[in-house]
């Protein structure tokens, strides 16, 4: 699984940082990390940033949460009703 980037920012006159979720190699859990990045790569990581959304399934009516990038379409069906959607 790749990094789920949630924020790119800097505080004051410090260095740019990327904040993301990833699976920890040691205990295999979902953890929050930060990493210093090159100022030239700031816009690249800002475009890769993902946001947590809520939506209601059109088929079963259940509410579910998912991460979506800026230019992806909003899914109308949950991953239980349409498992093919989880891979795209």
Q: Are residues 62 and 31 in the same domain?
A: no
The total domain count for the chain is 2
pLDDT computed for residue 40 by the predictor: 93
Q: Are residues 54 and 44 in the same domain?
A: no
Q: Are residues 59 and 85 in the same domain?
A: yes
Q: Are residues 66 and 42 in the same domain?
A: no
pLDDT computed for residue 71 by the predictor: 76
- Residue 34 DSSP label: E
pTM of the predicted model as reported, rounded to 2 decimal places:
0.65
Query: Which parts of the chain have pLDDT scores under 70?
Result: 1, 85-88
Which residues have a Cβ under 8 Å from the Cβ of 57 and sit 6 or more positions away? 63, 64, 76, 77, 78, 81
pLDDT computed for residue 17 by the predictor: 92
Cβ atoms of 47 and 26 within 8 Å: the answer is no
What is the CB neighbour count within 10 angstroms for residue 68?
14
Q: Are residues 19 and 33 in the same domain?
A: yes
Which range marks the domain in which residue 78 is found? 50-88
Q: Are residues 26 and 66 in the same domain?
A: no
pLDDT computed for residue 86 by the predictor: 58
Token representation of residue 22: 């990833």
């Amino acid at each position: 699984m790749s990094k789920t980037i949630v924020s790119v920012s800097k505080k004051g006159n410090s260095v740019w940082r990327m904040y993301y979720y990833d699976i920890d190699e040691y205990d295999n859990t979902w953890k929050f990390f930060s990493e210093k990045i090159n100022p030239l790569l700031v816009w690249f990581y800002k475009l890769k940033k993902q946001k947590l959304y809520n939506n209601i399934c059109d088929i079963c009516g259940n509410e579910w949460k998912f991460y979506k990038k800026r230019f992806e379409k909003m899914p109308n069906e949950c991953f239980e009703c349409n498992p093919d959607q989880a891979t795209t």
